[in-house]
Structure 1
Amino acid sequence: MPESTPHPERQPAGARIYRLEPHHASHLPPDTHAKLKDVFAHWNESEKAETLVRDIIDQAPDTLGVRIVAYRFYFYRRRSLEAAHWALACIEWLSLRLGLPADWREVRAEMADFAHWHAFTRLWLQSLTAYAYNLARLDREAESLEALDKVEELDPSGKLGAPRLRQVFSGPRGDAGMVFPKEFENWRFAQDAPRQSEG
């Protein structure tokens, strides 16, 4: 199987956290499922697959399900800059519906029922964990750990495995698996090239 093909078994332990759970089918436009099949049919044709995903996004950019589709596509492509963007887009959508502040840093435990894991609060926490994970792979460790602090604050029981992630993020890079970036991996946008070349 080509390296770029989605393969959950090759993800780090607990990687279901980082890739976000699929959203209910009713939250996707009717013809999106057919387009998703086309994406996987052309998975090894990078430009074609991305064009199809962009078509899905353009069709319904304000739909949570579509934002999750976009996140999962870029996550599996190991394009962490775009994946982080779409994780934030999911947080934005969910925060609006939950009545939370637009800035995730301002969210407090008493603002929503994070303890009982309503579908939207669970996805909110997953999205922030996904954001932290992708920032770590972009070598933006301080920002990543700040996001992880918020996950731990809102999920003190550790259901999302934030303490383990902190160990991975803070530990020796030789033990970090696929969390930390490979050289040149995220050079899609020119403004990120200097950051990737440092160190």
Structure 2
Amino acid sequence: MPDLTSEPQQSARIYRFEPYNFQNNMPPQMRDKLKEIFAHWSESEKAETLVREIIDEAPDTLGVRIVAYRFYFYRRRSLEAAHWAMACLEWLSKRLDLPADWRQVTPEMADFRHWHAYTRLWLQSLTAYAYNMARLNREEESLVALDKVEELDPEGKLGAPRLRQVFSGPRGDAGMLFPKEFDNWRFSKEL
């Protein structure tokens, strides 16, 4: 008989029962609203009105916070997307019993290495925050957040080292982020 008290096996048992589908954690009426949001996705004002309605109806629901983040992210509204990434981080920090300030989180405070749903989503939320801060040209804040992701995810499963390279590499691969000395590599000044 295997020893179920050892750390790896005990962790595996806990993670198996974790709710991975966050949509199931939304109130049932929200699922209908989600369908309506996607039905009106190309109508920005209508879709945003519906997103704001679900936020007003269930602001403390993780699924609603994720929907709000995704809506603003795909609309390229980085300030709002960063806000909702932080709202997800706040919700998850409470459930994981982590400090409210993500800068104070250390690897010993949660099992960030086994990638169960909440810790993985916590890291993804911080990465999303870093990405949106970069899009807002808030380089220092973005890189500090990426430092924390790399500290908690030393294997780089989330791709923080590559994201850092995109943010501060010589060409700024995504063409969107921190200004470089030679940022005019795409277009000459004579245009």
Give the TM interval when normalised to the shorter protein.
0.7 to 0.9
Deviation at 1:25, TM superposition (A): 2.5
Deviation sequence 1:90-141 (CA, Å, 0-9, x none):
0000001111000000000000011111211000000000000010001111
Higher radius of gyration, 1 or 2: 2
Is 2:54 the partner of 1:56?
A: yes
Match of 2:177 in 1: 180
Match of 1:154 in 2: 152
Is 2:84 the partner of 1:86?
A: yes
Deviation at 1:174, TM superposition (A): 5.1
Unaligned stretches of 5+ residues in structure 2: 1-19, 179-191
- Give the Cα separation in 1 of the matches to 2:60 and 2:98: 17
Deviation at 1:180, TM superposition (A): 2.9
Of 151, 165, 168, which aligns to 1:167? 165
- Give the Cα separation in 1 of the matches to 2:21 and 2:64: 9
Match of 1:37 in 2: 35
**What TM-score, normalized by structure 2, do the two folds share?**
0.79
Q: Is the 8 A contact 1:23 1:65 kept in 2?
A: no
Q: Which amino acid aligns with 1:114?
A: F
Q: CA RMSD in A?
A: 1.5
Deviation at 1:43, TM superposition (A): 1.7
Q: Is the 8 A contact 2:135 2:177 kept in 1?
A: yes
Deviation at 1:72, TM superposition (A): 0.6
- Give the Cα separation in 1 of the matches to 2:63 and 2:174: 30
* 3-state SS of 1:114 partner: coil
Higher relative contact order (CA 8 A, sep 6+): 1
Deviation sequence 1:52-110 (CA, Å, 0-9, x none):
00001111000111100100110111100000000000000000111100000000000
The answer to which of 56-65 and 36-45 deviates more is: 36-45
Deviation sequence 1:37-56 (CA, Å, 0-9, x none):
21122222211110000001
Deviation at 1:176, TM superposition (A): 2.3
- Give the Cα separation in 1 of the matches to 2:98 and 2:104: 8
- Give the Cα separation in 1 of the matches to 2:98 and 2:88: 13
- Give the Cα separation in 2 of the matches to 1:173 and 1:70: 31
Provide the identity percentage: 79
Q: Which amino acid aligns with 1:112?
A: A
Deviation sequence 1:145-178 (CA, Å, 0-9, x none):
000000000000000001100100102355224x
Unaligned stretches of 5+ residues in structure 1: 1-21, 182-199
Q: Is the 8 A contact 1:108 1:154 kept in 2?
A: yes
- Give the Cα separation in 2 of the matches to 1:44 and 1:159: 33
- Give the Cα separation in 2 of the matches to 1:131 and 1:51: 23
The answer to which of 29-38 and 155-164 deviates more is: 29-38
State the number of aligned residues. 159
